Structure 1
Amino acid sequence: MQFVSYTRLGRPGFGAKVGEGIIDLTERLAPGATSLKQAIAAGLLPVAREYISGRSAEFTDADVALLPVIPDPGKILCVGLNYESHRAETKRPDAKYPTIFTRFADSQIAHRQAILKPRVSDHLDFEAELAVVIGRGGRYISQETALDHIVGYACYNDATVRDWQRHTFQFTPGKNFPSTGAFGPQLVTPDEVGDYRSLRISGRLNGEVMQDATLADLIFPIATLISYCSSFTPLQSGDVILTGTPGGVGDRRDPPLFMKPGDVFEVDIPGVGLLINPIATES
């Protein structure tokens, strides 16, 4: 199944994608379940499958304003240097453990919303990534059971302001400018995706392929990431793990290539989605 978060007629909600349309699920699966995160936490997505059976779409994408897949995650845990091609281009040494940093929920935007180049930098870079959304939380999750904790996958552009990322050894400033974390268009459940390692991920700037890899290329597989992260923080329903970006980022090109107003960046993961975002200037 595929789920989207949106606002419609001024009201936030969520629904299921059916063909080219949407069936609204806001407060229809259980009283008070007004968001996708709430539905995930209450274990209502199987109920949604039953609810939409035999029903027709009620409206189209044009009738809503999409929100980030999970607008309000408690945690967004980002993984750096998780493809060998990217680790090599950064000239970083091999690592025994995943590189983990955080992104704030209020830095996120949705499919087709503008990524904003901040007024203080011209070094806005792209990072095509697969996002993992946690369904069933836990602490000290084993690698053997980790994939059972996933409720779905989505596309993400973890756009980075590179010069601010390098102000110190901490990545936080460069990763949290407003409107730089693009998340969408939809959440796709694991039964539709199958073995995530067969997925191909590409990032295109103005139609030209900049990044291209398969998820089998991850240095630390998703089960390892979930297990590792749950060891230092309890994972909750709706938490998001960004699994890393392949090589080909603009900062490591010769000459460097950064996103600028008027550009369009696409994250394409067939079987998961196509995330498209124009670039604009911060007002």
Structure 2
Amino acid sequence: MKLLTFVRNKEQYLGVKTEFGVLDVAAAAKQLSPTFTVPLTVHAAIEGGETANAALQQLVSHTLESTKRDSLLLNEAELTFGPCVTHPSKIICIGLNYRKHAEESKMPIPEYPILFNKFSNTLTGHNHDVALPRVSKEVDYEAELVIVIGKQTKYVNKEQALDHVYGYCCVNDLSARDLQMRTQQWLLGKSCDGFSPLGPYLVTADEVGNPNALHISCTVNGQVRQNSNTADMIFHCDEIVSYVSQHMTLYPGDIILTGTPEGVAFGAPVDQRVYLKDGDVVTIAIEKLGELTNRLVREEV
């Protein structure tokens, strides 16, 4: 399934993408299925696991068979998207996790995963504008695959790690390089408002299959800047989940950003770096997960 969050009257609602439109889960449950429980938020779906997924799939089937289906299916092009995961308790990021990206950045291949974090202020949705901070002139794009945890996870081994994953989505790990590289700590350049557009969909793990065999790309104003495959990861998704779980408990809805491939502005020679500017439109595309698009706008003084 492809889940999404949409916003109506400043409230967030759960949607399911179908071939005929986006199912308004709350409206469909109220009209068609008052006798059984369905999750009404993305986090309820994640926490409910297989039972919740089965209920959503049943609701989709009921809707598509109903004479009321047209009133319950929304036009995706008219939706205001929220982040596809709305309230993760942790936003964990893996740095320098693509071999070619480490090489273009002239940094050594990490012996262990490099971890840093972001905060909830960075979350935004598909098609939202993202402000270029007043304090930075070097904002960079980073196409990344996100792991969304589905079960409480601690000390899991690599072989069982992906059993603890609910699904995957796209993110643009926007990075203000002049702030990021100001000190040895990367957090400042990674945590500006809106610096983690997430979505458009949260795709369940069963639809994705092997997360380390997906085409991943980034375009800026239609020009390809990154073009790679998640197979180039230094630490694959099962290794990442296992490694992080050795050090902290992961909970349903936690998200892990798994690193970016080569092609970022920072990887070019200094005199050839083309950072994001006012009006630039950035699209992150990952095979099976859809396309995440955002426009960068200069923050008003």
TM-score norm. by structure 2 comes to: 0.89
Among 38, 45, 50, the residue aligned to 2:53: 45
- Quote the Cα distance in structure 1 between the aligned partners of 2:37 and 2:61: 20
Larger gyration radius, structure 1 or structure 2:
2
Asked whether the equivalents of residues 121 and 192 of structure 2 are also in contact (C-alpha less than 8 Å), the reply is: no
2:256 pairs with 1:249: no
- Quote the Cα distance in structure 1 between the aligned partners of 2:239 and 2:26: 34
Higher percent of residues as helix? 2
SS in 2 for 1:145: helix
- Alignment RMSD: 1.7
| Paired residues for 1:114-125 under 5 Å | 114-125=129-140
| Structure 1 alignment gaps of length 5 or more | none
Match in the other structure for 1:85 = 100
Match in the other structure for 1:66 = 81
Q: Which amino acid in 2 is paired with 1:35?
A: T
Match in the other structure for 1:262 = 279
Match in the other structure for 2:115 = 100
SS in 2 for 1:91: coil
Q: What are the Cα deviations for residues 56-75 of structure 1, in whole angstroms up to 9, with x where unaligned?
A: 35212244311011121111
| Paired residues for 1:185-264 under 5 Å | 185-254=200-269, 255-264=272-281
Match in the other structure for 1:2 = 2
| Paired residues for 1:152-163 under 5 Å | 152-163=167-178
Deviates more, 1:99-108 or 1:61-70: 61-70
Report the alpha carbon displacement of residue 270 of structure 1 after superposing the two structures with TM: 2.3
Percent identity between the aligned chains? Answer: 36
Match in the other structure for 1:22 = 22
| Paired residues for 1:111-190 under 5 Å | 111-190=126-205
- Quote the Cα distance in structure 1 between the aligned partners of 2:133 and 2:16: 34
SS in 1 for 2:104: helix
Match in the other structure for 1:11 = 11
Q: Which amino acid in 1 is paired with 2:289?
A: V
- Quote the Cα distance in structure 2 between the aligned partners of 1:185 and 1:85: 27
Asked whether the equivalents of residues 204 and 211 of structure 1 are also in contact (C-alpha less than 8 Å), the reply is: yes
Q: Which amino acid in 2 is paired with 1:261?
A: D
Report the alpha carbon displacement of residue 33 of structure 1 after superposing the two structures with TM: 4.3
Residue correspondences, number: 283
SS in 2 for 1:106: helix
Report the alpha carbon displacement of residue 25 of structure 1 after superposing the two structures with TM: 2.1
SS in 2 for 1:53: helix
Report the alpha carbon displacement of residue 31 of structure 1 after superposing the two structures with TM: 6.4
Match in the other structure for 1:277 = 294
TM-score norm. by structure 1 comes to: 0.95
